[in-house]
């Protein structure tokens, strides 16, 4: 399946065998590299549901669909956190785990019984990685687990940033990997680095730094000029070429795309306008938006991937609901995090961008049909499944999300 399919969803067979909702959240190192994904499931505890039968979703299927990331053009397998209840751990319903692919995350509300402690020790001896969420240093029932688990989550919002240094000092003898959870700003992230956390989770990569008056760079401006030109009545490959030649790197990228997996046979290119003609104006518009997002070598790979997922999922949902101009939905979804990528407040950013009013309103205030789909996709990405308001059915959102994850990986390899 090519990654530029637009008119039809074209889901592969292995993308249609899950009837449950999943989302994934990234867990980062201090260098903002993705070390793990946490999988969110749709149930009251966001924990793995043992009623899921093997024919619906094995751990292997889950890992293959949700545990991949593209790094330096290569696909890597990332271990996944899954939340488990104490009832599940003590039952016989926990399937065998693919070695090294999962971390079992015990919920803080669990009943810490001798039987549970014994079970966790047994799993640890088998090489299963264990994490504890919702740690409360004032609750002594957790103490017995500190010598068993490998990773300890500290909810910095619940515990209070001012209390964290003393908690870390108390935990130091246990040699645990400490994970700062609920990190919502880059300022909090910097403070957590100073305190020595090994891992970080939260939406701090999704927010721009508070930098006022920052302008879009010259190379991005060429892309924005192209974005305006492609919508101009009378625009053609030649007029696009005249603008694109102002950025040699962009010229190379367009030529690379034409010779990528998007096309079944290599093409002999005679000019940049020829390459643009082969792509077509609709597809060149798509790639301008992608280059605008992914062309910054300083950008977080994970943030760019999430932007691609959001854009593609918005586009797919618009197609499935019969909306006109799906590429505009793609643009709304993908550009909705451009403020975080460029560290420019969204209002200032939109003032500098030649977008039409409906797209700007959808991005800034979630207005109109495009804004409604953007809201649903954002809720889904955050694992807030009950907030999704669309009427297409849960399995449609789940399939669109998984397809978008795979598509984003293919794009990241292509660029």
Written as tens digits, the pLDDT of the chain (415 aa) is 233 333 334 444 344 444 567 888 999 999 989 999 998 876 555 666 655 544 344 566 666 667 777 776 677 888 989 888 888 888 877 777 777 888 999 988 888 999 999 999 999 998 999 999 989 999 898 899 999 999 999 999 999 999 999 999 999 999 999 999 999 988 999 999 999 999 999 988 877 665 555 666 666 778 878 887 887 888 888 888 888 887 777 777 777 777 665 555 555 677 788 888 888 888 888 888 888 777 665 667 888 899 999 999 999 999 999 998 888 899 899 889 988 888 888 888 888 776 788 989 999 999 999 999 999 999 999 988 989 998 888 889 989 999 999 999 888 887 6
**Per the structure block, which two tokens stand in for 27?**
């867990």
Which residues of the chain are in CATH 1.10.3210.10 domains? 218-414
CA 6 to the chain's CA centroid = 21
Give the pLDDT of residue 146.
95
Give the pLDDT of residue 278.
81
Helix, strand, coil proportions of the chain in percent (round to 5)? 50, 10, 40
Given this structure, which CATH class describes domain 13-206? alpha beta
Which residues of the chain are in CATH 3.20.20.450 domains? 13-206
What is d(CA 415, CA 407) in angstroms, rounded to the nearest whole number? Answer: 13
What is d(CA 6, CA 11) in angstroms, rounded to the nearest whole number? Answer: 12
Q: How many residues does the chain have?
A: 415
CA–CA–CA angle 305, 309, 314 (5° rounding): 150
What is d(CA 103, CA 336) in angstroms, rounded to the nearest whole number? Answer: 32
- Can you give the three-state secondary structure of 348-384, one letter per residue? HHHHCCCCCHHHHHHHHHCCHHHHHHHHHHHHHHCCC
The dihedral through the CA atoms of 233, 238, 241, 243 has a sign that is negative
Answering whether pTM is above 0.85, one says: no
Q: Is 79 helix (H, G, I), strand (E, B) or coil?
A: coil
Which CATH number, 3.40.50.10420, 1.20.120.80, 3.90.226.10, 1.10.3210.10, labels domain 218-414?
A: 1.10.3210.10
Give the pLDDT of residue 95.
72
């Amino acid at each position: 399946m090519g990654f530029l399919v637009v008119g039809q969803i074209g889901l592969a067979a292995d993308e249609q065998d899950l009837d449950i909702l999943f989302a994934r959240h990234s867990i980062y190192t201090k260098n903002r590299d993705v070390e793990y994904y946490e999988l969110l499931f749709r149930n009251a505890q966001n924990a793995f549901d043992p009623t899921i039968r093997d024919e619906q979703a094995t751990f292997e299927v889950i890992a293959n669909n949700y545990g991949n990331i593209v790094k330096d053009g290569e696909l890597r397998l990332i271990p996944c956190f899954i939340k488990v209840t104490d009832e599940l751990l003590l039952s016989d319903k926990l399937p065998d785990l693919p070695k090294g692919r999962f971390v079992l995350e015990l919920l803080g509300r669990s009943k810490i019984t001798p039987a549970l402690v014994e079970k966790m020790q047994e799993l640890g001896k088998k090489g299963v990685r264990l994490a504890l969420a919702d740690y409360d240093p004032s609750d002594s029932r957790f103490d017995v687990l500190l010598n068993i688990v490998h990773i300890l989550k500290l909810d910095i919002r619940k515990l209070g940033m001012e209390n964290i240094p003393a908690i870390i000092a108390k935990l130091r003898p246990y040699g645990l990997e400490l994970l700062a959870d609920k990190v919502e700003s880059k300022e909090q992230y910097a403070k957590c680095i100073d305190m020595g956390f090994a891992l970080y989770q939260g939406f701090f990569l999704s927010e721009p730094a508070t930098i006022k008056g920052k302008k879009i760079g010259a190379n991005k401006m060429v892309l924005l000029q192209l974005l305006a030109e492609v919508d101009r009545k009378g625009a053609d490959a030649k007029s696009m070429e005249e603008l694109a030649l102002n950025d040699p790197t962009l010229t190379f990228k367009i030529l690379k795309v034409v010779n990528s997996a998007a096309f079944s046979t290599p093409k002999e290119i005679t000019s940049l306008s020829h390459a643009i003609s082969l792509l077509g104006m609709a597809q060149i518009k798509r790639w301008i938006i992608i280059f605008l997002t992914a062309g910054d070598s300083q950008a977080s790979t994970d943030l760019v991937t999430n932007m691609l997922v959001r854009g593609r999922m918005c586009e797919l949902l618009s197609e499935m609901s019969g909306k006109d101009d799906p590429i505009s939905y793609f643009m709304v979804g993908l550009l909705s995090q451009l403020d975080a990528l460029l560290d420019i407040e969204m209002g200032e950013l939109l003032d500098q961008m030649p977008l039409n009013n409906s797209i700007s309103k959808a991005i800034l205030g979630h207005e109109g049909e495009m804004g409604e789909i953007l809201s649903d996709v954002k809720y889904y990405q955050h694992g807030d499944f009950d907030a999704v308001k669309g009427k297409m059915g849960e399995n449609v959102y789940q399939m669109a999300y998984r397809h978008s994850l795979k598509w984003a990986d293919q794009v990241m390899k292509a660029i």
